[in-house]
Structure 1
Amino acid sequence: MTTRLTVPTAHPYDVVIGNGVQDQLRGLVGEDVLRVAIIHAPSMRHQAEILRRPLVADQLDVHLIEVPDSEQAKTADVLTFCWKVLGESGFTRSDVIVGLGGGATTDLAGFVAASWLRGVRFVNVPTTVLGMVDAAVGGKTGINTAQGKNLVGAFHEPVGVLCDLDVLQTLPPAEMRSGLAEVAKCGFIADRSILELIEAAPETIADPGSSIVAELITKGIAVKARTVATDLHETGADGSIGREALNYGHTLGHAIERFEGYRIRHGEAIAIGMVFVAELAHRTGSIDKHLLDRHRSVLEIIGLPTAYRPGTWEPLLASMRLDKKTRGDQLRFVVLEGLEEPAILAGPDESVLLDSYRAIS
């Protein structure tokens, strides 16, 4: 069964979820296109060639741009390399970029599209759970710097997203678990039925072909689509928390990723970050012990870490001060005031932060 979700922003686009939906790429590319660049990681070389063949058969000039795996792709050097290929290939504003791979690849591909000629069309074809529920939807694109993750980027929406569930069959179990961290996040901030599904059927979490996993992915994407539709540029202009809610667990999580040199998976770091902010919310009186404990139990069902090694607080704190939510010298965290009730906690006392960190280390 195929599900089609519309992201109702100023320039609406569809997210198609199902088996075999990569076949719909030609329709998303459009009729006025001469050139297509498929940006992919080495592990996606064969899949990129599969996508390329029908486009070439339709007389399109298709370029495969291979970039490093994971976060190593999100650098200025790799970005410059992609620009070089586009320039040498004569890419114009009517041509199309395709991002094929996990979240890091689609982040990079989107920023390539946003920056080339001040913006060309692009299609996301995510191949991981993380890519499907997080990076591929919402128009956030970017690269990392030595100082932090996603500090350079742009908001640039795709013209469509194809989430082909068939590709999950070859995904390593650890990558499945990592992606499900973002799904669980959506459960805590916006849709409790996600948590109930995980708790009711823990034995299905490891099976990428299960109907429960497909439903979890669809629910996670639906949360992301609803959230970005009301606050695409993360301004919170209507007075609500808006898109910042999607950063739940990410302030500490991104700091851990950077501290680990991106050797830890994104979802593993975010899982730890969610438990940290749950501890923080509990200590500041926002949530009760039951909801705090539920964070650990849900994430442990998935098989994700809920604690981090001690003795790393000072470098993590320094890294968090560069987080995008920080204003001036004031740290800001997305916390819960109850299940499905995200809010911003600004400037918490550093002793409370340290106590919360000690509770997870």
Structure 2
Amino acid sequence: MIEVNVELKDRRYPIRIGSHILAESSSYAPLKCGDKVMIVSNPTVAKHYLTTVSDSLNRLGCKVSSVLIPDGEQYKTLDSLNLIFTALLQANHGRDTTIIALGGGVVGDVAGFAAASYQRGVRLLQIPTTLLSQVDSSVGGKTGVNHALGKNMIGAFYQPCAVIIDSASLDTLPKREVFAGLAEVIKYGAILDLAFFDWLEQHIDDLVSLQPQQLQYCIQRCCQLKADVVARDETEQGDRALLNLGHTFGHAIETHLGYGSWLHGEAVAVGMLMAADLSHLLGNLSRQDVFRLEKLLARANLPTVSPDGMSADDYLPLMMRDKKVLAGKLRLVLLQRLGQAYVTTNSDSELVRQAINHCSQFD
């Protein structure tokens, strides 16, 4: 088992990475005999892993309850949040309980927000089961739900006590979900680590086919990169905003199409290309590096063009509603070069429109 630590100002927590570690009771520290836990999952994940996790916790001596929320981005809502609150109250869970998020990004975000809110905060443990949640959303404490008018508009920063990543859980993941997770993997290389981007160009086929050795290295490197950023900027006042490369464009796609039509990683992939193209139009990123990014995304079986019929006029109003807008100005993450990102509020709206249109199917 590999361990990466997230070092915060007032505490630290571990990210444990291994294969088939959900069946090992020792993986679940700091839980102990007598602790009361509520596992939050969905039917798709529960049929594979709920019994394994419950059995491990029972052997540890925990008192285990569970609740299932519907599966899919369209259910990342206040209604799903309320299902968790109801289950907690019906089972008489108090402030000393621990909520365990067993699932992908939707489960992690909703269960995390429940932990932040229930009786003003209870302990949270993340067990991500998708590649996207393992390399990104389970680490760093972003929790929340969507609103019809915008993605992730309601939520809180709330750090877990631990993250347990079992790479073997990816064996039951649909291929489309694997590809979507690779978008966030590629993002880390593009914004923070050129050497990792180079490594991905060499090993992307291994990751697509879930080769265990390369997969575990990939997860470890992404978690370390994110842990370092979160340690510097826990609540996204500075450097952490760099992790949003492509997300403002991508969130517009998800909101416009309806949550769940495109997976988050698919939307982010196109968003990253739009950000890269805008970076080139601004005179920073070379056209060759834009092509490198496009080629790597395509090799990961990710979309590289905007949804059919979606124009700049569809994107811009939704982007201006994004939570990263400050003082009425669009805040975007762009690339100085591969491996080096920056945040700007000074993007020319006409250039933004051009970048969107360059990545459109009707261009």
SS of equivalent to 2:333: strand
The CA deviation string for residues 56-80 of structure 1, in whole angstroms up to 9 with x for no partner, is 3455331111001121331111111
Shift in Å at residue 221 of structure 1?
1.1
Residue 21 of structure 1: aligned partner: 21
Structure 1 residue 301 corresponds to structure 2 residue 303: no
Paired residue type of 1:21: I
**Structure 2 counterpart of 1:271:** 269
Alignment of 1:92-111 (within 5 A): 92-111=94-113
User: Within 5 Å, which residues of 2 pair with 1:38-49?
Assistant: 38-46=39-47, 47-49=49-51
Give the 3-state SS of the residue equivalent to 1:69 in structure 2: coil
CA distance in 2, matches of 1:24, 1:312: 51
In the TM superposition, what are the counterparts of 1:204-243 in structure 2 within 5 Å? 204-236=206-238, 242-243=239-240
The answer to whether the 8 Å contact 1:114/1:154 transfers is: yes
Tell me the equivalent position of 1:257: 254
Secondary structure in 2 matching 1:158 = coil
One-letter code aligned to 1:281? S
Q: Which whole-Å CA distance do the structure 2 matches of 1:32 and 1:154 have between them?
A: 30
* Corresponding position of 2:286: 288
Cross-structure match for 1:141:
143
Shift of 1:322: 1.4
CA–CA distance in 2 between the matches of 1:188 and 1:66? 36
Partner of 1:201: helix, strand, or coil?
A: helix
Q: What are the Cα deviations for residues 307-336 of structure 1, in whole angstroms up to 9, with x where unaligned? A: 113443222211111112101321110001
Which residue number corresponds to residue 322 of structure 1? 321
CA distance in 2, matches of 1:231, 1:122: 20
2-side partners of 1:33 and 1:93: how far apart?
A: 14
| Amino acid paired to 1:348 | S
Structure 1 residue 203, shift from structure 2 partner: 2.9
2:344 maps to a residue whose letter is L
Q: 2:78 aligns to what?
A: 76
Tell me, yes or no, if the aligned pair for 1:29 and 1:123 is still in contact at 8 Å.
no
Using a 3 Å threshold, how does the CA distance of structure 1 residues 219 and 269 change in structure 2: closer, same or farther? same
Q: Aligned pair in 2 of structure 1 residues 58, 21: CA closer, same or farther (>3 Å)?
A: closer
In structure 2, the partner of 1:132 is 134
Tell me which amino acid in the other structure corresponds to 1:223: L
Say whether the 8 Å CA contact 2:25–2:56 is kept in structure 1.
no
Q: Gaps (5+ residues) in structure 2?
A: none
CA distance in 2, matches of 1:203, 1:315: 34
1:120, 1:179 → 2: CA distance?
Answer: 29
Paired with 2:56 and 2:294, the residues of 1 have a C-alpha distance of 46
Q: Which amino acid aligns with 1:95?
A: T
SS of the residue corresponding to residue 208 of structure 2 reads: coil
Q: 1:282 to 1:26 in 2, by over 3 A?
A: closer
The 3 A distance-change label for structure 1 pair 162 and 26 is: closer
Q: From the superposition, tell whether residues 127 and 194 of structure 1 become closer, same or farther in structure 2 (CA, over 3 Å).
A: same
CA 1:33–1:258 in structure 2 vs 1: closer, same or farther (change >3 Å)? farther
Give distance in 2, aligned partners of 1:255 and 1:24: 42
Q: Which residue of 2 aligns with 1:239?
A: none
TM-aligned CA deviation for residue 306 of structure 1: 1.0
Distance 2:66 2:28 in 1: 19
Residue identity (%): 34
Matched, 1:50 2:48: no
TM-score, length basis structure 1: 0.94
Would you say the 8 A contact 2:311–2:357 is kept in 1? no
For structure 1, list consecutive stretches of 5 or more residues without a partner in the other structure. 237-241
Q: CA RMSD in A?
A: 1.6
Residue 82 of structure 1 deviates from its aligned partner by: 0.9
SS in 2 for 1:150: strand
Separation in structure 2 between the aligned mates of residue 254 and residue 56 of structure 1, nearest angstrom: 40
- Match for 2:271: what amino acid? G
Is contact 2:13-2:160 (8 Å) kept? yes
Q: Secondary structure at the match of 1:79?
A: helix
Task: For 1:176-191, list aligned pairs within 5 A.
Answer: 176-191=178-193
Q: Which letter does structure 1 place at the counterpart of 2:316?
A: L
Alignment size in residue pairs: 355
Query: Which residue among 70, 83, 90 is the counterpart of 2:92?
Result: 90
Partner SS, residue 237 of structure 2: coil
Q: How far apart, in 1, do the equivalents of 2:286 and 2:78 lie? A: 44
